Amino acid sequence: MKGNGAPNEASDAWTAHKTDTGVTYYYNAVSRVSTYEKPPGFKSESDRVAGQPLPVSMENLAGTHWALVTTNDGKKYYYNNITKVSSWQVPNEVVEWRKKQDDVLKEQAMPAPQANVSTDTGSTTVSLSTPAITTGGRDALALRGTSMPGTSSALDLIKKKLQDSGSPVTSSLAPVSSGVPTSESTKGMPSESSKDKLKDTNEDGNMSDSSSDTEEDNGPTKEECIVQFKEMLKERGVAPFSKWEKELPKIVFDPRFKAIPSHSARRSLFEHYVKTRAEEERKEKRAAQKAAVDGFKQLLEEASEDIDQYTDYYTFRKKWGNDPRFEALDRKDREHLLNERVLNLRKAAREKAQAERSAVAAGFKSMLRERGDITVHSRWSRVKDSLRNDPRYKTIKHEDREALFNEYLSDLKAADQEAEREMKAKRDEQRLKERERELRKRKEREEQEMDRVRLKVRRKEATSSFQALLVETIKDPQASWTESKTRLEKDPQGRATHPDLDPSETERLFREHVKMLQERCVQDYKALLAEVITVEAAADKMEDGKTVLDSWSTAKRLLKADPRYNKIHRKERESLWRRHADEMIEEAKSRSK
C-alpha cells in the first residue's frame, strides 16, 4: 500500500480554491505555483475519500481476541477486539492458534460439519448482514432476554434497562468501522460521498436479491418494512442525534436496511429516528421507572403486616431484599418509598394516641365542669378528694391529674377574660356607634345650616337684582303690579323669574318700590309747597280777595307749572296743601302772640 507514495505526495501538494467570482484555481504548497488548470492526478476531497476501504464482513477467530475483517476492495486485515488494534500482518497469536487447529483437524477422521464454521481455519464467520439475535453478539443480549420466556423476570429486565439507559447498546460492527488500519496514503474513514457511492453500488449490484424479494407478492408491506427498519436501528444501537455516515457501516448489510429500496427514504427514516430516539428513550426510562416504582409499592402492600412505625430500611431489606421487585428499584427510591410508608404509620399512630389522650382529658374536664363549684380560685389539694370515686378521675395518670386541673382553671380564666373582652368590645362598639350618630347629626345640622346660609345669600342676591330691575324699569309711582309683571318678566337676565324668589316675594318688592316712589313724590311735593306757598305769597291777595292759604284754586295756579305737582297723586295734592296751609296759619298765630 506504500508503492504510490511519491505520486500521492505530489498530488497532495495541490489544493483547490475559489475566487470571489466563484472561479476555481489550484495552488501548490511546495512550489507556490497557482494555476486555473487542474493538475494531473489531482483528486478532490471526495475523490480521495471514495478510495478508502470499507469493511463488509468480519470473522471472529475463536480462541483468540482477533477478528479477520474483509473490506469492499477484497483486502483483509486483523482487528483485536480487546486492544482495538488493527494490523495488516498476521498476529503471532493467530499463527499459533491456526497451528493448533490444523493439528486437531488432522487427528479428527470425520469432522462434524457446522454451520458457518470453516474446516481449514475453524473460525466462525459472522456476516455483517446477519441479525445480532442469531450471531450471539452483544446486540443479542437484550433481544434474547426478551425472546426467551422464563430466563428472567420482567422486573429484572426493568432493572437492567434502568441500569443501561445511560449508555445505549453498541453494535458489534462498531469496532469494524473504526478499526481499519491506515497507511501513509490513507487520510481517514470514508466520507459521506464515498459511502453514498457504496450505497449506490450495493443498490445496483449486491442488493439485487433483496430488491427482488421486496417485489414478491408475499413479501412484507411498506409499513412493515418501515417498522422493521426502525427495529433494526434500535437493535444496532443507533444513538440519538447520531450521524448517518457514522452509523452506516452498522446497518448497511442488514436485510432490513435493504428492504427500503430508496436511499432518500432510508436517510429520511434514519434522520427521523435519531431525532425522536432521545424522547423515546426518555419515555422508556420513565415507563421502566414507573413500573419499578409500582412493583415496589405492590411489594410494600404485600409486606404491610411486617411494616410498622418502627420498621427501618435494613430490617425490611433483611426479609424482602431477595424479591425481584426490591432489586428492580434504586436504593434511594426504595428508602424514600419505605420511609414514606413508615412516616404515614407513625403519623397515624401519633394521631391515634393524641385522640385517645384528648378524649380522656375531655372526660376529666367534663367531670370538673359538672361540679359547678370549681372556680379560678379553687385549689387541687382541696378538690381532689371529692373526685376520687368518679371513673373519669381514675382514667388519668396520677402525675397528669393536677396538670389537667390547672389547665382547666386556665381555660376558665381564659373564658372569663374572653367574656370580659367581648363585653368591653360591645361597650366600645356601642360608644363608637353613639359617637358616629352624634357626628352624623352634627354634620347634618351643619350641612342644613350651610344650605340655609347659601339659600339666604342667593335670595339676597336675587332680591338685590330684582330691586335693581325695579329701579331700572318702574319709575311711575302709580304703576300697578298686574301691568308691570309681564314687563318685568321680559328681562333678558331673568331677574324677575329667579328660582330663589317666590312670586309673592317679587310682588311685595314691587309694592315696596312703588311705595318708595310715592313717598319720594310726597316729599318732593312738600318741598314744592314750602318753596311756593310762603308767608310772602300768602300776603298777596288776589282780586277776589283770596290768598294761597285759603284758596286751593289760587294755590294750584302757582303749583301746576312745577313737574313735582304732576307726580303726586291727584287725591293727595289738595290734602297736602291744606295741611301745609294750616301749619303756616298756626305758625303765624303763634308768632303774633
Please report the pLDDT score of residue 449 as a whole number.
Answer: 94
Distance CA 589, CA 585 (A): 6
Average of per-residue pLDDT across 443-468: 91
Average of per-residue pLDDT across 423-438: 94
Lowest mean pLDDT among 245-259, 322-336, 486-500, 544-558: 544-558
C-alpha cell at 22: 466563484
Q: Are 65 and 80 in contact (CB under 8 A)?
A: yes
C-alpha cell at 38: 487542474
Helix pair 481-489, 503-532: axis angle to 10 deg: 120
Sequence-distant (6+) residues with CB within 8 A of 144 are: 133, 151
Cα 349 to Cα 81, 310, 340, 508, distances in angstroms: 61, 11, 14, 98
Distance CA 404, CA 191 (A): 89
Distance CA 530, CA 359 (A): 120
Please report the pLDDT score of residue 12 as a whole number.
Answer: 65
- The 3 state secondary structure assigned to 358-398 is HHHHHHHHHHHHHHCCCCCCCCHHHHHHHHCCCHHHHCCCH
Please report the pLDDT score of residue 445 as a whole number.
Answer: 94
328 burial (CB, 10 Å; 0-12 / 13-18 / 19+) is buried
CB atoms within 10 A of CB 186: 15
Q: Are 266 and 200 in contact (CB under 8 A)?
A: no
* Predicted confidence band of residue 450 (pLDDT cuts 50, 70, 90): very high
Average of per-residue pLDDT across 460-470: 89
Distance CA 47, CA 372 (A): 111
Average of per-residue pLDDT across 503-529: 86
* Predicted confidence band of residue 155 (pLDDT cuts 50, 70, 90): very low
Provide the whole-model pTM: 0.32
Distance of CA 147 to the CA centre of its chain: 47
422: pLDDT strictly greater than 50: yes
Q: Is 63 left (phi over 0), alpha (psi -120 to 50) or beta?
A: left
Sequence-distant (6+) residues with CB within 8 A of 435 are: none
Please report the pLDDT score of residue 95 as a whole number.
Answer: 83
Q: For the chain, what is the mean pLDDT?
A: 75
Distance CA 542, CA 448 (A): 72
Distance CA 382, CA 354 (A): 30
Average of per-residue pLDDT across 498-506: 87
Name the percent of the chain lying above pLDDT 70: 75
Helix, strand, coil fractions of the chain, as percent rounded to 5: 65, 5, 30
C-alpha cell at 425: 368590645
Please report the pLDDT score of residue 234 as a whole number.
Answer: 85
Sequence-distant (6+) residues with CB within 8 A of 278 are: 240, 241
Domains and CATH numbers, the chain: 5-42 (2.20.70.10), 49-287 (no CATH), 501-592 (no CATH)
Average of per-residue pLDDT across 120-129: 36
Distance CA 250, CA 178 (A): 11
Please report the pLDDT score of residue 218 as a whole number.
Answer: 60
Distance CA 470, CA 95 (A): 147
Helices (H), 395-502: 398-473, 481-489
- Encode pLDDT of 176-217 as tens digits: 333 444 433 333 333 343 444 333 434 433 443 444 444 444
Distance CA 152, CA 272 (A): 33
Q: Are 549 and 581 in contact (CB under 8 A)?
A: yes
Amino acid at 70: T
CB atoms within 10 A of CB 330: 15
Cα 500 to Cα 126, 491, 509, 518, distances in angstroms: 120, 16, 14, 28
78: pLDDT strictly greater than 60: yes
Distance CA 86, CA 178 (A): 9
Average of per-residue pLDDT across 462-472: 89
Distance CA 122, CA 106 (A): 12
* Predicted confidence band of residue 447 (pLDDT cuts 50, 70, 90): very high
Distance of CA 388 to the CA centre of its chain: 65
Please report the pLDDT score of residue 563 as a whole number.
Answer: 82
409: pLDDT strictly greater than 70: yes
- Encode pLDDT of 572-585 as tens digits: 888 888 888 888 88
- Encode pLDDT of 338-382 as tens digits: 899 899 988 998 888 888 888 888 887 888 788 777 888 888 877
Please report the pLDDT score of residue 135 as a whole number.
Answer: 37
Q: Using the structure block, give the residue that is written with the C-alpha cell 290768598.
A: 547
148: pLDDT strictly greater than 60: no
* Predicted confidence band of residue 108 (pLDDT cuts 50, 70, 90): low
Cα 540 to Cα 243, 536, 537, 548, 560, distances in angstroms: 153, 7, 5, 8, 18
User: What letter would DSSP give residue 304?
Assistant: G
* Predicted confidence band of residue 545 (pLDDT cuts 50, 70, 90): low
Distance CA 103, CA 96 (A): 11
Lowest mean pLDDT among 92-96, 307-311, 500-504: 92-96
Please report the pLDDT score of residue 93 as a whole number.
Answer: 80
* Predicted confidence band of residue 3 (pLDDT cuts 50, 70, 90): very low
Choose the most confident range, by mean pLDDT, from 72-81, 495-504, 528-537.
495-504
* Predicted confidence band of residue 10 (pLDDT cuts 50, 70, 90): low
C-alpha cell at 267: 436517510
* Predicted confidence band of residue 52 (pLDDT cuts 50, 70, 90): low
